[in-house]
Amino acid sequence: MRKDIGMETLDYDVAIVGSGLAGLRTAIEVLRRDKGKLGLKVAVISKIYLMRSHSVSAEGGTSAVLYPEEGDSFELMAWDTIKGSDFLADQDAVWRFVHIATQEIRLIERWGVPWNRREDGRIEQRWFGGLSFPRATYAQDKTGFFEMRALYDTLLKYDNWDRFDENFVTSIVIENNEFKGFTAIDLKTGNFRYFRAKAGVIATGGAGQLYRITSMAVSSTGDGYGLAYNAGLPLKDMEFVQFHPTGLVPRGILITEAARGEGAYLINKDGERFMQKYAPSKMELAPRDIVSRAIMKEIMEGKGIYDEKSGLYHVWLDMRHLGKERIEQKLPFIREIGLKYLGIDIVDQPLPIRPTVHYNMGGIHVDIDGKVLDSTGTPVKGLWAAGEAACVSIQGSNRLGSNGTNECLVYGYIVGNDIYNYIEKERPALPSPSQNILTTEEDRIFGKLLGKESGGEDVYEIRDELKDTMEKYVHVYRTGSDLEKAVVKIRELKERYKNIRLTDKSRVFNYNLEHALELGNMLELAEIIARGALLRTESRGAHARLDYPNRDDTNWLKHTIALKGADGPLFSYIPVKITMWKPVARVY
Amino acid sequence: MPGKYSLLKESWIMILMYTLALIMVFVLTIHLLLVSPLTGKTFDQVLTYSYVLDNLTYYRIVFGLLLYAAVIHGLNGLRIVLIEWLHIRKFQWIINIIIVILMAILLAFGTYTLIVL
Amino acid sequence: MGEDKKEKRYKTGLLRSLWPYNFNAERYSYTLHRITGVILALYLIAHVFEIYHFALGPVAWEQTIALLGSLGIWEKIGLWIIAGSALYHGANGLRLILNEVFGMLLGKPVLPEYPYTPTSLSRNQKIAIYVILAIVIALWIWAGLYLLEGLGII
Amino acid sequence: MKVRIRRYDGQKEWWQDYEVDVKSSDTVLDVLNKIREKQDHTLAFRLSCQMGSCGSCGMVINGLPALACQTRISELKTDSIRIEPLYNYKVIKDLVVDLNEFVNKHRSVKPWIIRKNPEELEEAPIEFKVTPEQNLTFVQFDYCIMCGICLAACPTVAIDPLFLGPQALGQAYRYIADPRDEGFEERIDILDDSHGVWRCHFAGACSYVCPKGVDPAKAIQFLKKEILKYRLLHKKKAATKPAELVEKAPPPNAPKPPPFDFKFEGGV
């Protein structure tokens, strides 16, 4: 084991944090545009191995307009997205997004995605929640996985990039509104690293781990949000946390919306298809927030089924009428999950499901090109964000199913192009930050956190309490009093966090240290979410207040912006860009 | 550096392996039948000089085929085991050469035996 | 790729490679195929030199036979093992040729269905393995009886 | 339940016993999480998705390589669990193994779509025509999540670390079988090497332990068949016919935003 503590400096043109769909797509786009012309060197930094990112768990599909001749159109997709977002989406961004999505689907088809096909060999599409045309392009029910496979494999084709697996990024170095690199810990050796780069991309995904029951991976702890927030950059719309209606009880493993797209029913204790009360025309295929609220309402009204093992209430997702052949062709992974984790075969038994945390609509405040904006709304020179980590905002207050993977692809493409144009045009030099920043950061991690001998708080205890707090008070339905309780609890946990002590003092693969750093970010995020939700006195999309049950377009048709203050987040608001459609009542 | 340290394309060696294996199925069956109970002799009787001489001269082509097939197939098998086990690319040619020399020695002795009779 | 042989790896090496415990029937047959192959190759080397004595004339041949005969029952047991090796190696080798050259007994590419049972290790392959084992064991017992008969025990 | 874990801290190796309360529905990964969170913070193991689709948590459980997140305690049918790092890999710490060699092997077989005309991968008119039947010829092998478990089971990898291994060879076949790919000749020299495809002797252990049903053994035997066909008969990729590009469709509407008071009149 290496005892010496040294700082490595690694020079790259582009440093990408996060290796999910958005990160890989950005890397490919930069290298693809470049083709050795500028000889750009790209670093892909990930806290886990490449191909282990949570994008592999995306199941259902990827929306895109492929068949305008059959009645689909860009207007229709944009309308669906905007209506689904409860009119909080920036409509210029949506308009751009729907156009690029089509091209992305075809591009990754050529890179090897085994899309499900029609009999004549063309790409097949299916229904998804909130769509008015079956435009979710899919590869069985492992769409995200196959997309990741294709992107990862295609990236391997290029030479001019290096992978930094298991490098945990601890901070963004920003001086004078200019990006100067990332600092990271190499988990394998425990060394401190400084990635000096002309351009940086944050594509770290979401923060589902704030909750107990979540479909997100253990690695989705919102590090990107924390990095930006701690660097003094604003976060947008963080109070909108999407609950996927169908998470498997008790873990919250995702049962894809495609199950309902293929025709599955939601059934309560009395055997009733209760969605007809909530969305009579779309039924089970209403957008996710509506279905989640419907399920929670059923459970609150005592029409849920009690599961003795986990102590949770749930409803049934019934796929028995689909038939074995259709399930094997289109939903094999769902069947596998049911058999594997509950011993339930969906061919002849319904699955117990309840809402599970699935997606963060909010994220780092970026403009329509993916450039990260600072508190005054001017772009930070040389810093981009893409995918779930960024908030453009296309998803508004509620993401439509099948719009997540294509946001990653589209913004990977846009950001990659933008970076290439930036470097080609401006030819920036490698930045040189003051040494002070780096040594302070190194000391924060290794001196003040790893080397600390005082204090007795345990990382995992605080994390458990945080998860329970969020699960209890900041769930599908929120009330002012619950949110206040949550804020108080989170502030208490933040105080306790200052007192933590790590048991593992080694440098190599010190997961204890990684979890402590993650927890620091998670506590900040939890506070932003809870306080942002407390301030927003309306119900919009995924944010549903029992004490303010209606949408309030006069006061709240605006994005929340959270900035780090001396004592917790400071909130301000910016308007929504409405270019095409004025908000109307959202009925399905 | 694929193929740099190997004598032949590995697939041609394997084609040889499979072909010789199929040949051996036939010739080795004949060889074993000649020392089997089906000859009506006891095991000691099939080893007598005259019986063996009869067989060797009568089935000379069969035994020649068997010799060449078995030596090449067998020693190449041994080579495969060795290059997997010792797995250092740089010294792979040493194993190859040792095997080829061994093959040559065995074939020389075997051919001599078959010709001289 | 690591050219360095001295890198420490966990539970690796010749014995691990030949230790099929806990695994599937094909891995057992792999172990047997490899061991029998090495036995046969080594026997082949000895056998060629043994036969070479035949070329030196009847006296040399009788001497060689007598020398081997002096091993007593061990000669017969040795030959029995070699006969068994040849039978198994040959029969299993035929199965491998079907697999590797003709792509038979493997099934077609399918959509995997949970619980995953790989088609390459499924029914056809298992039948082939058990048929081979049955034939080989029957012939091997026959050969054993013959060898023992020669010894005058039966 | 008694859990025995093989520990390693860079210098010494040892077995450590833990006593954990488990429910029958728990997976091995839950047990490890309980140990790390409640008993021993120094235990190192990888995990991510917890639903068997990322491939982080490959380890040897009771002597058989498997994904910890999809091995349920009730399936093991034992009253104690023995957990070791994956066989045939270098161990870095506890259950964390070094996968760099593994990913390099994967990369060395050129696992991407190769076209004679590379422009087709950037600017093709619409899409390749792949019928569902053609899709079926390779999609099974595309299930690979790169967990590295197959290499831990492979008897050849156990003695020959240079062997490409079931994962890389399986992926090579996945792309060779893909009707969109034309890179067979580029890959053949890499595969037809003294430590390439022919070092597979079909022990089938890779397919036996594969957590996603990829069946790499099958892919490798098919790969051998394809290579022999190419060498003996000069037939390239007889398995699948190359895909055609779909005819150029009418260009999609030009991206111009509709006027502000655009009235939507769709059947929502």
Q: Pick from A114, A218, A506: which is nearest to D48 by CB?
A: A218
Q: Do the chains contact at B15 and D190, CB–CB below 8 Å?
A: no
Cα distance between residue A268 and residue A314, in whole Å: 8
Rounded CA-CA distance A432/A266 in Å is 57
Q: What is the pLDDT of residue C7?
A: 66
Picking from D47, D52, D266, the nearest residue to A340 by CB comes out as D52
Q: Write down which chains contact chain B via at least 3 CB pairs under 8 A.
A: C, D
**Backbone phi, then psi, for A178, in 5-degree steps?**
-130, 130
A179-211 per-position pLDDT tens digit: 999 999 999 999 999 999 999 999 999 999 999
d(CA A32, CA A38): 11
Among chain A residues, the shortest Cα distance to D55 is held by A52
Choose the closest CB to A111 out of D92, D113, D243.
D113
Among residues A90, A117, A85, A372, which one has the least CA distance to residue A228? Answer: A372
Q: What distance lies between CA A107 and its chain's CA centroid?
A: 23
Which residue numbers in chain D have pLDDT < 70? Answer: 124-125, 236-268
d(CA A345, CA A338): 6
Beta-bridged to residue A477, according to DSSP, are A544
pLDDT band, very low/low/confident/very high, at B7 (cuts 50, 70, 90): low
Cα–Cα distance measured from residue C50 to residue C45, given in angstroms and rounded to the nearest whole number: 9
Distance CA D105, CA D164 (A): 6
Inspect the interface and report whether the beta carbons of D204 and C118 lie closer than 8 Å: yes
Helix (H) or strand (E) holding D174: helix D165-177
Cβ atoms A152, A50 nearer than 8 A: yes
Predicted confidence at residue D262, as pLDDT, reads: 44
pLDDT at D244: 65
Predicted confidence (pLDDT) per residue in D137-187, tens digit: 999 999 999 999 999 999 999 999 999 999 999 999 999 999 888 888 889
CB-based contact (8 Å) between A327 and chain D? Answer: no
Q: Give bridge partners of residue A390 from the DSSP assignment.
A: A364
Instruction: With CB atoms and an 8 Å threshold, state whether B10 touches D198.
Output: yes
Q: How far is CA A234 from CA A364, D176, D206, in A?
A: 6, 48, 49
CA-angle at D110, arms to B8 and A51, nearest 5°: 140
Q: Tell me whether D110 touches chain B (CB under 8 Å).
A: no
pLDDT on residue A89: 94
Q: Do B52 and C55 touch (CB under 8 A)?
A: no
Residue A525 CB burial class (10 angstroms; 0-12, 13-18, ≥19): buried
Amino acid at A298: E
The per-residue pLDDT for range B16-68, each reduced to its tens digit, is: 999 999 999 999 999 999 988 888 888 888 888 999 899 988 999 999 999 99
Cβ pair D231:B12 closer than 8 A = yes
Which of D138, D159, D203 is the closest to C30 by Cβ?
D203
Q: Shortest Cα distance from C119 to chain A (angstroms)?
A: 17
Query: Are residues A225 and A532 in contact, defined by beta-carbon separation less than 8 angstroms?
Result: no
Q: How many CA atoms lie within 13 A of A378 on its CB side?
A: 5
Q: Is the pLDDT assigned to residue A5 strictly greater than 90?
A: no
Indicate the DSSP class of residue D37: I
Give alpha helix (H) positions in A308-434. 324-330, 332-337, 404-426
Asked if A389 contacts A172 with a C-beta cutoff of 8 angstroms, the reply is no
3-state helix, strand, coil in chain C (%, to 5): 70, 0, 30
- Residues of chain D contacting A502 with CB distance shorter than 8 Å: 41
Q: So what's the ipTM on this one?
A: 0.92
Amino acid at D153: A
Amino acid residing at C20: P
Cβ contacts from B onto D, under 8 A: 55
Torsion of the alpha carbons at D79, D80, D86 and D92, rounded to the nearest 10: 150
DSSP code per residue over A462-520: HHHHHHHHHHHHSSSEE-HHHHHHHHHHHHHHHHHHTTB--S---STT-HHHHHHHHHH
Instruction: Work out the minimum CA distance from B73 to partner chain C, whole angstroms.
Output: 9
Q: Which residues of A are part of the catalytic machinery?
A: 244, 260
Report the 10 Å Cβ neighbour count for C67: 12
Q: Is the pTM of this model over 0.90?
A: yes
Q: Are the beta carbons of D203 and C26 separated by less than 8 Å?
A: yes
Q: Please give the span between the terminal C-alpha atoms of chain A, in angstroms, as a whole number.
A: 61
CA atoms within 13 A on the CB side of B114: 17
Interface test with A, best of D50, D119, D136, D171 (most A CBs within 10 A): D50
Q: What does the mean pLDDT of chain A come to? A: 92
Please state the length of chain A. 588
Q: What are phi and psi of A306, to 5 degrees?
A: -90, 130
For residue A555, the distance in angstroms to the closest alpha carbon of chain D comes to 22
Closest partner residue to D215 among C30, C96, C120, by Cβ?
C120
Place of tokens 């083709």: A35
Nearest residue of A to residue D26, measured between CA atoms:
A341
Q: Which long-range contacts (CB under 8 A, 24 or more apart) does A547-554 make?
A: A547/A479, A547/A480, A551/A86, A551/A583, A551/A586, A553/A87, A553/A583
Q: Which residues of B touch C58 (CB under 8 A)?
A: 49
Please check the confidence at residue A238 and state whether its pLDDT lies above 70: yes
CA A424 – CA D133 distance, rounded (Å): 45
Mean pLDDT of A281-310: 91
Look up tokens 């032949």; give the residue.
B8
| Angle subtended at Cα A374 by Cα A369 and Cα A380, rounded to the nearest 5 degrees | 60
Provide the Cα torsion A241, A246, A250, A254; round to 10°.
-80
Q: What is the pLDDT of residue D237?
A: 62
D174 neighbors C1 (Cβ within 8 angstroms): no
Question: What pLDDT does D240 receive?
Answer: 46
Q: Quote the pLDDT of residue D261.
A: 46
Interface B:A, ≥3 CB–CB pairs < 8 Å: no
Task: For residues A412 and A370, give the distance between their C-alpha atoms in angstroms, rounded to a whole number.
Answer: 9
Across the interface, whether the CB atoms of D161 and B87 are under 8 A apart is answered yes
When scoring A463, A509, A581 by the number of chain D Cβ atoms within 10 A, the one with the most, hence best to mutate, is A509
pLDDT digits (tens, 9 = 90+) for A464-494: 999 999 999 999 999 999 999 999 999 999 9
- Give pLDDT tens digits along chain C (154 positions): 444 445 688 989 899 999 998 899 999 999 999 999 999 999 999 999 999 999 998 999 999 999 988 888 888 899 999 999 999 999 999 999 999 999 989 999 988 888 888 999 988 999 999 999 999 999 999 999 888 876 655 5
A131-171 confidence digits (pLDDT tens): 989 999 999 889 999 999 999 999 999 999 999 999 999 99
Q: Dump pLDDT digits (tens) for A305-364.
A: 998 888 899 999 999 999 999 998 889 899 999 998 888 999 999 999 999 999 999 999
Distance between CA atoms of residues B5 and B94, nearest Å: 10
pLDDT recorded at residue B47: 86
- pLDDT value for C152: 58
pLDDT the model gives residue D248: 52
* Res D265: pLDDT: 41
Determine contact, residues A390/A202, Cβ cutoff 8 Å. yes
C109 and chain A in contact, CB less than 8 A: no
Distance CA D73, CA A263 (A): 34
Please give the Cα distance from C144 to D143 (Å, whole number).
49
Whether the predicted pLDDT of A429 surpasses 60 = yes
Mutate to test the interface with B, among D191, D194, D234 (most CBs of B within 10 A): D194
Sign of CA dihedral A527, A529, A534, A536: positive
Report residue A3's pLDDT band, with 50, 70 and 90 as the boundaries: very low
Cis status of the peptide bond prior to A250, with omega within 30 of 0? yes
In what helix (H) or strand (E) does residue D223 lie, and over which residues does it extend? helix D216-233
Yes or no: say if A39 and A158 are a contact pair by the CB < 8 Å rule: no
Residue B30 forms contact with C (CB below 8 Å): no
Residues D224, D178 contacting (CB under 8 angstroms)? no
Taking the alpha carbons at both ends of chain B, their separation in whole angstroms is 48
| Contact of A415 with A27, CB cutoff 8 Å | no
Percent of residues in chain D assigned helix, strand, coil, to nearest 5: 35, 15, 50
Alpha carbon of D63: minimum distance to chain B alpha carbons (Å): 23
- Tell me which of B87, B90, B95 to substitute to probe the interface with D (most D C-beta atoms closer than 10 Å): B87
Q: SS3 of D59, please? A: strand
C147 touches chain B (CB under 8 A): yes
Q: Which helix (H) or strand (E) holds C33?
A: helix C25-55
Whole-number Cα distances in Å, B6 to A13, A33, B83: 41, 40, 11
